[in-house]
Amino acid sequence: MSVSSRILKSLQSQLTAVLSAFSSFRFKLLRDLADIFKIMNLCAERVSDHPEYARILCDLLQICGLPFLKEKSSDEMKYASVVTDCVSQMGFLMRIPLPEVRRQICLSVSAFYSRDKHQHSSDGVCSTRADYRALMLERSGVSETLVMSLALTEEQLPVKLCLLQTLQILSRTSEVNCKLMLRAQAAQKICFHMSEGDPSGELLFRSSEILWNLLENGSRQEVTSQLSSSDCIASLKDAFLHLLLKGFRHHERQLRNDLLVLLSLIAENPGAPLIESGFLKHLTPFLTFPELKSHNPLVRNLKLSFNQEDFEMKKLLLNIMVVLSRDLSALQLFREGRVMLALMLLVKPSSSAERSGRHRRRWTSSQQEELQLQALSTLSSLAPLMLEEYMTCQANTCLLLLIDCCLQHDSSSGRGHGLHGSSGRGGRRAQLRYCVRVLRSVTCVEHEPLRQDLCDQGAIGQLLALCPGVLRWFLGRPQDEDAVALEIQTDCLLLLSVLCEGDVHRKELFGRDGVELLIQYLSLDAALVFSGLGHNKLLLSSIDCLWSCVVGCLGAEDVFVERRGVDLMLQLLQRSPRHMLSPLVSTLLELCENPQAVTHLLHWSGERDTSASQLLLHIWRREEETTAVSRDPHGMITDVKRPIVSRHQESSSSSSSSPDVSAAVREVSENLRANIYCIFCKLGFEGLSGLSAEDHITLSIIHRYLDFKVGEVVHEVLSELLDEGVSPVVSDEAALKSVLQVTEATAESVRLLQQSILGRQQQEELQEEQLLYKEILFTQKQREIAAEAWRSYVARTSNYSILKEFKRLQEEQSTSEAYAPSDTETPEPPNTLSDQ
């Protein structure tokens, strides 16, 4: 009988003396685990009546904290289920109300999970592997059991701290343990009690660490969902305010920032009751501190050390503004707390320093720069939602002055811009980038007084070339061409587009200087579109700026045409990828309202002497090929009933669930054919030089595009009436069918015209082929004559008899020619009766 079996028997017989004799034996073999835990369960059942069992139980639990021993390598897999059950039972022993037992359970679980190596002197046995122990503990579900036992330790603070330490160890690296803990609502339970009274502060620290482990190794969504209850938010708020107002040590400031990050993550959950819990109301005074003075008792005696932890907290407060701005109720609290004014003071460091002069210590220049950048980033999110406060603070003037400062003084006193300074050190481009981004965000809102204020402040001229201008500043610095520079220029062009759209006076302010800059942008190599830096966005913004700032203003249009802008657009049209063709063709169509632009179109010649009409016809064919329009190999109409309908259009019309959207009408805005047709209406359909037969075949379809489109719409009307079971009146039905017949007849006549064009082309090709064949025959004949002459010459020079024969024949020929009448002499007419 083994030792464990004898002890088990003695326990069952209540032989306490025997138990005491064997209590010091170290039970660690895997094969003894089942008996050992039976002993522990018997002790647990009797410990309430016999307190002396508590010491024995604690000793056994302490032994179980050591790595189990195996005699063979296969023992780990052989006893895996036994180990899992035993570790699980260890967690269930938390039901014992004795503090020393619960504490020992936590210590044993922590030690068992520890990866420390234990040395054993026993012969023939070795410790189980650390990863094996971790796997067994994960499978046992003991982490979930320990979370559920938190409720049992409310009156036992030392035990609770030990339990939290164990949960911290279990959740540090294990995703499985974190998942089990979250299933037991660990985040909610731990957060709810984290702000309870603990003079040492260990409870708050352990709880915060566990929450972070759950975020990193568990489901972030599940954690934030559990923390989004009113009780959890109130607990986090109390802990944060306590550390903010009374925490002066380094680790307390770090813990304060960690709690603020947790609150920021909770704020991302739309259902989190941050406002209802009063958190935001208490937080608002700190959002504007130390930029604004406040009589709020929370911040009246608050002092910042302006160290790195306070700096990180200020950045986190700016970040949480952006997260909370999604709630309209939060915006109202921001208005009451004058958050916009505080942000503008951060953007203007000098003013901020004057207002906060009572503070002896201030942010360093590097910290001030980074806060300025983050304030600008926050403004880009808040300003469009708080336009009245934005205008009240004269933010437009401040931002334009900052832009001017960035352009005139390209230097910085700080050492970098942190997260938002991705443009690099030692430059003002980061400030410039975010200033322009803020202006772009507010101008995109339909608020005409704000746009007018910007124009009155000279924004158009400053963005162009007058002060000296953002765009010209970058165009003169090719060495600074990177993604950030391209982004700034793109935003400037978008800003100009929004300001000038629909206002002729502002387009006149854009004027010649703006056109000159657009010419430079349109001169960009189309191959840069694929550079990956953002040239594609810059080019599209230039085209949009051309549409909004030039088209519609005759003076600007004339300058653009005079500077050969139409030629540049056609070159881009010839080289650009398909997704850029639509804005180019649309803008080109608008420019065709100017007669000078039409003249340039007609006389333009591109690569390989391609004319504008040839280029447009080629784009038309490529568009039909992309949309799968039915055509034969020669580009001729194959379906006279629906000559311009694509397969994509048919499939989209059949699958469209919205009856208000007509596929025929939607197709006009989705591809280029309608715009190309309108351009040809300006150029004319006759007298276009340099067109091939294929071009003429395509042009015949374009000429009748509007007739075909009318027939297509009528066909859709009839189809929709049929689908809805509606029959039109006789006259309407006759009119609709008449239109369809006319469309079909038109398509048939176009096809006949195309056939005649193709026939003429084939006839011309046949004539060219015959002429070429005659030239080939003539050339071959000449080669044969030359070859025969050469052979005769060689024979004469190499054989004397042949030379004599040739000489004789030559003399006979000359003699016969001497007696023959000359072709130039006129023979005498014969005598006639009249002569006699």
Residue 17 confidence class, pLDDT cut points 50, 70, 90: very low
Contact partners, residue 746, CB within 8 Å, separation at least 6: 704, 707, 708, 711
In angstroms, the CA 233 to CA 265 distance is 12
Q: Which residue has the higher pLDDT, 106 or 300?
A: 106
Whether residue 18 has pLDDT greater than 60:
no
In angstroms, the CA 110 to CA 91 distance is 12
**Which pLDDT belongs to residue 422?**
53
In angstroms, the CA 109 to CA 137 distance is 8
The phi-psi region of residue 306 (left if phi > 0; otherwise alpha if psi is between -120 and 50; otherwise beta) is left
Report yes or no on 150 lying in a domain: no
Residue at a domain's end among 113, 140, 167: 140
Over residues 567-625, the pLDDT tens digits come to 999 999 998 888 889 999 999 999 999 999 999 999 999 888 899 999 999 999 999 99
Burial class (CB in 10 A: 0-12, 13-18, 19+), 655: exposed
Q: Among candidates 426, 436, 429, 423, which has minimal Cα distance to 462? A: 436
Percent of the chain at pLDDT exceeding 70: 85
Q: What is the pTM of this model?
A: 0.79
Q: Which residue has the higher pLDDT, 661 or 359?
A: 661
Percent of the chain at pLDDT exceeding 90: 47
Contact partners, residue 769, CB within 8 Å, separation at least 6: none
Write out the H or E segment, with its range, that includes residue 70. strand 69-70
Structure tokens at 272: 């989190």
Whether residue 626 has pLDDT greater than 50:
yes
Report yes or no on 806 lying in a domain: no
**Which pLDDT belongs to residue 528?**
78
Q: What is the mean pLDDT of residues 85-102?
A: 88
Q: Give the domain range for residue 130.
A: 1-140
Whether residue 335 has pLDDT greater than 90:
yes
**Which pLDDT belongs to residue 351?**
46
In angstroms, the CA 107 to CA 100 distance is 10
Report yes or no on 16 lying in a domain: yes
Q: Which residue has the higher pLDDT, 806 or 551?
A: 551
- Tell me: cis bond preceding 290? Omega within 30 of 0 counts: yes
Handedness of CA 750, 751, 757, 759 (dihedral sign): negative
Over residues 250-278, the pLDDT tens digits come to 999 999 999 999 999 999 998 899 998 88
DSSP β-bridge partners for residue 69: 29, 127
Q: Is 63 helix (H, G, I), strand (E, B) or coil?
A: helix
Residue 220 confidence class, pLDDT cut points 50, 70, 90: very high
Between 82-96, 498-512, 743-757, 772-786, the lowest mean confidence (pLDDT) is in: 82-96
Report yes or no on 509 lying in a domain: no
Rg (CA), the chain: 46
DSSP β-bridge partners for residue 127: 69
Residue 155 confidence class, pLDDT cut points 50, 70, 90: confident
Residue 359 confidence class, pLDDT cut points 50, 70, 90: very low
Query: How far does CA 814 lie from the centroid of its chain?
Result: 96
Contact partners, residue 369, CB within 8 Å, separation at least 6: 412, 413, 414, 416, 417, 421, 431
Whether residue 648 has pLDDT greater than 80:
no
In angstroms, the CA 130 to CA 67 distance is 8
Report yes or no on 636 lying in a domain: yes
Residue at a domain's end among 124, 140, 156: 140
Q: Which residue has the higher pLDDT, 307 or 531?
A: 307
In angstroms, the CA 534 to CA 486 distance is 6
* Cα angle: 201, vertex 202, 206; to 5 degrees: 130
Over residues 56-73, the pLDDT tens digits come to 888 888 888 887 777 777
In angstroms, the CA 139 to CA 599 distance is 81
Residue at a domain's end among 763, 780, 795: 795
- Residue 182 near residue 188 (C-beta atoms within 8 A): no
Residue 127 confidence class, pLDDT cut points 50, 70, 90: confident
Contact partners, residue 796, CB within 8 Å, separation at least 6: 802, 803, 806
DSSP β-bridge partners for residue 126: 70
**Which pLDDT belongs to residue 43?**
80
- Residue 211 near residue 187 (C-beta atoms within 8 A): yes
Report yes or no on 124 lying in a domain: yes
- Residue 101 near residue 58 (C-beta atoms within 8 A): yes
The phi-psi region of residue 632 (left if phi > 0; otherwise alpha if psi is between -120 and 50; otherwise beta) is beta
Residue linked to tokens 């708080």: 386
**Which pLDDT belongs to residue 222?**
94
In angstroms, the CA 35 to CA 27 distance is 10
In angstroms, the CA 660 to CA 655 distance is 13
Between 535-549, 620-634, 645-659, 667-681, the lowest mean confidence (pLDDT) is in: 645-659
Between 156-170, 287-301, 503-517, the lowest mean confidence (pLDDT) is in: 287-301
Residue 231 confidence class, pLDDT cut points 50, 70, 90: very high
**Which pLDDT belongs to residue 678?**
95
DSSP string of 705-719, one letter each residue:
HHHHHHHHHHHHHHH
Whether residue 411 has pLDDT greater than 60:
no
In angstroms, the CA 525 to CA 522 distance is 8
Residue 479 confidence class, pLDDT cut points 50, 70, 90: low
Angstrom distances, CA of residue 98 to CA of 51, 60, 384, 423, 715: 10, 15, 61, 62, 87
Report yes or no on 407 lying in a domain: no
Between 60-64, 384-388, 406-410, 438-442, the lowest mean confidence (pLDDT) is in: 406-410
Q: Which residue has the higher pLDDT, 410 or 188?
A: 188
Report yes or no on 830 lying in a domain: no
Total structural domains in the chain?
2
DSSP β-bridge partners for residue 621: none
- How does 531-544 read in b/e, with b if 16+ C-beta sit within 10 Å? eebbbbbbbbbbbb
